[in-house]
Each structure stands twice: as structure tokens, then as C-alpha cells.
Amino acid sequence: MKTNKKVVKAGIGYTISNYLINGLNFLTIPIFARMLSTSDYGIYNTFVAYQSVLFILIGLAIHSSYRNARFKYKYKSESKNKYNYETYVSSSMVMILLITLFLFVFINIFSSLAQSLLGLDILSINLLLVYSLGSAVICCFNTNASLNYQYQSFVKVSLFNAVSNILMSLLLIKFVFITRGYFGRMIGTSLSIFIVSVYIIVYFFRRAKPANIKEYLSWGLKYSLPIVPHGISQVILSQFDRIMIHRMISSMTAGIYSFAYNIFTIIQVTYSSLDTVWSQWFYEQMHKKNYGGIKSISSIYITAMFVFSCIMMLVCPEVILILGSAKYYDSIYCAIPIIAGGYFSFLYLIPSVVEYYYEKTKYIAIGTCSAAIINILLNYIFISIYGYVAAAYTTMFTYFLYFSFHYTFAWRIQGRCLFSTKLILLTIVAIVFMVGVSLYFVKYIMVRWGIAILLSLLFIVFEEKKYGFGLAFLKRK
């Protein structure tokens, strides 16, 4: 009973802190959007996109092995063996530091090649290494903290990083890098996360000195390396279009396109938080073989996210004007199809939990890598022909394929469909239709908001008649 309370408390803590931290970053978007030119905004977002790939290569997804390592090597308090979980974690930090050192030497020796490939100056590339190192270390820390439901540690580290990142960036852009605002943003982001990562590494080393590194890493990398292609492919799906726009067109258009992704972030934070609850509940129901319950609850979950995505498409022109300014208005034409892509990205989470449940992670890598390769090819073809807006539609299409691959794999693994295929197909057709509606009425605010309110009311009526969760929740309150 105490364990259940601890799990629930930790789950609530992680969810609230996730909203809080992402909310802080989201609230600063209007500030940075106005302080930076569209070109500076594009350069910084390209920098962030590169970091999303580089931090995976620096960490080699070693954090994913921590849960298994915790049971394989056990904590100091559980085992008298000199090789324990704490030692494993500190040894993994040595690997991350060595990879970073190697990349630092390589990049600075072949600086011309690095600058040519990435389209950034050498100082920015070195900051990119610092930023990626910090991200890899924090990822390891948060995974380690989650093993004992230490959400307080997660909150403290993440909140300090977010606040210091914002404050440093604002000061540097305002008073130091006035003409190169993107550089002030890069330094503020990299310096704050570096300070946090130094604290974490010292904490891990004090807890246990690195030892038996060869044996630890031979096992750890055997576990984590297959996950690297999946992680990189996810980044390609969400970030690579910005890099391609930056290289193929300009940093200014990359900035406009990147701004459109801020609307997608609202959906992403919502479904990633809800997925924590959904995946845990799914495992419990699979254990009970409650397939009827899975189909019923997944249907209301899918419907709710569909309605939420439609509403975001309908109101996104006003959201963009509030968060940014008139100079980002053209991002509306990217934001609407990107939001539809975000809905398909959410749909992927529904079947993927089946793959994780049965430990068929090779299927996850195959599905994600296939979608990522298609995304790159389509972007290369259509950006050159139709411009940066085309990337929004290729993103929408490849996220649809991303979901379709995993839905097919889950069906094969289970031997039956656990979810309502009819409902999913209906929402897929409807979300594409709503892209057209939102774009057609983009100049008609009353029509769009009227449809958004109508959809909200229809969903509330449908939910209460079929399930009654909302009313039951209010009665409990």
C-alpha cells in the first residue's frame, strides 16, 4: 500500500514538474522571439536541433540500461559485492566524458570540416559539445532518480537548469551580445547546463568511484546501443527539417518554421505527460487480460487528443500572434499541418506500448528509422521545389507513416487489435480535413473559434453520455 502511494505521488510530482518546467520555457517564447531577429532565432533553433542528435551520440543511450543494471548489480545496501549499481553509474560517466573529450579534440583539429558540415562557427560548435554533454549527464541523473521515485531531485535539477538558462540568456542578449543575440542564447543555455552536469558528475563520483569499467560498459553498451538508432530517428523526425531549411534556404526561414513548432510543443508536453499514466495503466490491464477495458479507455483517450489537436489548429493564428509578433505570422501555414503531425505522433504511443510490453524493441527501431529516412528524402525533394512550408506537410505525412508502421507491428505481435481501428481511421481522416478547414478560414477568427467551441461542447456531451468521467471527477471533488 505504501509503495502504491509512493508511485502515485511520484507520478503526480513528475507530471506537475514537467508542466512547470516546460511552462517556464514556453512563457519565455514571446520574450526571446521579440529580442532575437528571425535569423538569430533560426540559428539558435538549428543549434538545438544538432544538440538533440549529438547528446544521443555522446551518451550512447546508456541511461536506458540503468533500470536493468539496478537489478543486475544491485545497490550497495543490498549486496556485499564490490561491483554494484552505484559503481556502474559512475563508470558510465567516465564513458560520457571520454567520448566528449574525443569529439572536442577531433572537432578542433578538423575545425574547417566541422564548420562546413554543421554550418556553425567553431565557438558555437564547442558550445554545442558542452550543451550535449550536459544533456546526456542530466538524462542519466533523471533516470537514476526515477528508480527510487525521487521526483524531488528531478524537480530541483530541472528547475535550476531552466531558470538559470533563461536568466543567463536574457542578460547576455540584452547587455553583451546585442548584435549577435543567438550567441548569447547559446552561451546561456550551455553554461547553465554545464554547471548542473558538473554537480551531477561530482555527486556520482562521491557516491561510488568508477571501477570495473570494461565489464560494465561491455554489458551496458550491448543493451543500449540498439536504442541509439531509434533515438536519432526520433530526433530526425522532429528536428531535421529545421536543419535542412537552414542549410537549403536561410536561417530566417528556419526561424519562422521553428516558431511554428512552439505550438506543437503544447501538444507534445500534454501527451508525453499523459503517456506516463497511460503506459503504466496499460501494463496493469495487459497483466489482467482486460482487453475490453483497454479498447474502451484508449478510445476516449484518442478522442480527447483528437479534439484537443483540432482546437489547437483552429486557434493557433491567435496563439502565434500572442507568443511572437507579426514577423512570425507566416508560421501559421506551417503550424497547422505540424499540429496534425503532432496528433499522429501521439497516436504512435498507443500501439508502441504493446511493443515495449513484449520487449520487441527491434520493431520500434525498424519503424522509427524507416519513417526518418522517408522524412529526409521527402524534405530534400519538396523543400527545394515548394520552399520551407513543404517541410510541414512532409512532417505530417511521415508521422502518419510512423504511427502506421508501429500499429502494424503491434497488431502482429499481439495477434489481434487491442484498439478501435474504426475510430482511429475516422480521426485520421477528420484531422486531415480539419487542416483544410483551419487553413481555409485562417482569416475568419469568428468562424474558427466558433468551430473550436462547438467541438469542445460536442466532446463534453459525448464523454458524459458514454463515460461520465468528468461529472464523476467533479462529484469526488
Sequence-distant (≥ 6) Cβ neighbours of residue 397 within 8 angstroms: 341, 378
Q: Has residue 9 got a pLDDT over 70?
A: no
pLDDT at position 25 is: 63
How many residues in total does the chain contain?
A: 477
Do 259 and 328 contact (CB within 8 A), yes or no? yes
Q: Mean pLDDT across the chain, nearest whole number?
A: 81
How high is the pLDDT of residue 426? 95
- Measured distance CA(27)–CA(323) in Å, rounded: 8
Among 145-149, 205-209, 224-228, 414-418, the least confident range? 145-149
Q: CA angle, 185 as apex, 157 and 196 as ends, to 5°?
A: 20
Q: How confident is the model at residue 2 (pLDDT cuts 50, 70, 90)?
A: very low
Closest CA relative to residue 69, chosen from 159, 160, 162, 147:
147
Higher-pLDDT residue of 205 and 219 is 205
Burial class (CB in 10 A: 0-12, 13-18, 19+), 432: middle
Grid coordinates given for 115: 564548420
Residue 249 has a pLDDT of 82
Q: Give 97 or 269, the one with higher predicted confidence.
A: 97
Cβ neighbour number for residue 376 with a 10 Å cutoff: 16
Long-range CB contact pairs, 389-392, < 8 A, 24+: 389/333, 389/334, 391/241, 391/244, 391/245, 391/257, 391/334, 392/257, 392/260, 392/333, 392/334, 392/335, 392/336, 392/337, 392/338, 392/341
Percent of the chain beyond pLDDT 90?
Answer: 23
Cβ pair 357, 283 in contact under 8 A? yes
CA pair distance 27, 443, nearest whole angstrom: 26
Provide the whole-model pTM.
0.69
Instruction: State in Å, rounded, how far the first CA of the chain is from the last one.
Output: 23
pLDDT bin (cut points 50, 70, 90) of residue 130 is very high
292 CB-contact burial (10 Å; exposed 0-12 / middle 13-18 / buried 19+): exposed
Residue indicated by cell numbers 530541483: 156
Query: Residue 238's pLDDT is what?
Result: 72
Q: DSSP secondary-structure letter at 327?
A: G
Rounded to 10°, the helix 2-27/151-171 angle is 10
Is the Cβ–Cβ distance between 258 and 45 less than 8 Å?
Answer: yes
Q: Give the tens place of pLDDT for each residue, 414-451.
A: 888 889 889 999 999 999 999 999 999 988 899 999 99
Please count the helices (runs of H) and the strands (runs of E) in the chain.
19, 0
For 464, residues 6+ apart whose C-beta sits below 8 A from its C-beta are 470, 471
88-104 per-position pLDDT tens digit: 999 999 999 999 999 99
Range with the largest mean pLDDT of 274-278, 286-290, 333-337, 457-461: 333-337
C-alpha span between 163 and 17 (Å, rounded): 13
